[in-house]
Amino acid sequence: MDRIILHCDANSFYASVECLYNPAIRHRPVAVSGDAQARHGIILAKNEIAKRYGVKTGEAIWQARQKCPELLCVPADFSLYVRFSRKMRRIFEQYSDRVESFGLDEVWIDLSQPGLCWDEGVRMAHALRRRVREELGITISVGVSFNKVFAKLGSDMKKPDAVTAIAPDRFRELVWPLPAGDLLFVGPSTRRKLAAINITTIGDLARFDPALLQSRLGKNGLTLSAFANGEDRSPVMPSDQRMAIQSIGNSTTPPHDLTCEEDARCLYTLLAESVAARLRAEGLRARCVSISARTAQLSTASCQCMLKEPTNLTDEIAQAALGLFAGRFGGHFPYRSVGLSCSHLSPDNAPIQLDFTGNEEKRMRLEQLERSIDGLRRRYGHQIVQRGVVLCDRDFAQINPVENHTIHPVPFYAG
């Protein structure tokens, strides 16, 4: 049975939703952006009008306004975008029980079933596109192909409000002339490595010796070679299947640069609290702690360490993070932003070996205490309980690392 995979991508999603709710701005160049006063001043999304001026996602607001002085920047409303994402998904799930999210505004849909021909799959893609426009008031672009990689490539080829089909017998004609950077997982760094060996198009990548690619790019080279040749076999996850969590993290750009060890202690404790709370909420403990720090020149470095025992305790995660920071980054201030994540996860109901010193018993009591604090924060808000170290800087104490940090996973491989 031939596969028929759709990739649906909401066009300028955040900006489209904002324009839908505020008709007065629909005919103006609009961008959804972070808060420049809080040093989060980057473009998160832009509408088609702003796009014509060359405004790009990820650039600073001041850079965007140099291109488009009339640009209207509106703050992000993630709860609204999540609600619209769920509305779209409910429509998609009427066509298949295999719908896999790729962020808030993108999904793959597997329409494959006995008796469903290619032309019918393309007609269903057009029906989906019309339904989203008529029922929700926003537009999507849909790629139709025989695998997930080419379906996503198709949705990027024609925007907005369009369907692009890449059939098995035409993919070389349609896909191979495209730049190598258009292929999934070919980011700027990989694109530069490919250009160094004279690979500039997807066709060049497909025809290149896989063994040489592997020597240059490692395992990723073989993956990209398979993608370029249409050999992606990854399944679309069932709608009710949840991807296993591989890591949990958080990062923040504070109101002012970190200029001393005390600033680092305050901010990493805040991040450790949010990560530890998420670990407990997910029923997990972690063995590996990783941190990152970004300088005022926007260069980022990271490092990690393994813990003796899996943990979901704030103090243990914070102490590991601060030890890493002192060893790797201390003395090189200032820093613009920092991040913390935990990996090597295991269930929190795994058996624990008690010891004669009573240390494990103490850790169990601490976990119970932190779960009680989690309950208070869920009921009364995150700021209802704060650690003394956080209050050393009133600006940092106002940061809410939970409510101001929304995580939208973007899995690709199922299983």
Q: Which residues are marked as active site?
A: 106
CA–CA dist 366, 282 (Å, integer): 18
- Assess contact for 72 and 25: CB atoms under 8 A: yes
Name the residue type at position 65: R
d(CA 405, CA 407): 6
Contact at 8 Å (CB) between 112 and 8?
no
Assigned token pair, 24: 């007065």
**Beta carbons of 176 and 124 less than 8 angstroms apart:** no
Distance CA 84, CA 138 (A): 10
| Closest of 226, 237, 166, 219 to residue 202, by C-alpha | 226
Whether the CB-CB separation of 346 and 244 falls below 8 Å is answered with no
Within 10 A of 22 (CB to CB), how many other CB atoms are there? 12
**Amino acid found at 87:** K
Helices (H), 22-117: 48-52, 61-67, 78-92
CA end-to-end span of the chain, whole Å?
22
404-410 contacts at long range (C-beta below 8 A, 24 or more positions apart): 404/252, 405/250, 405/251, 405/252, 405/274, 406/78, 406/82, 408/103, 408/104, 409/101, 409/243, 410/101, 410/102, 410/103
List of residues 6+ apart from 70 with CB closer than 8 A = 28, 29
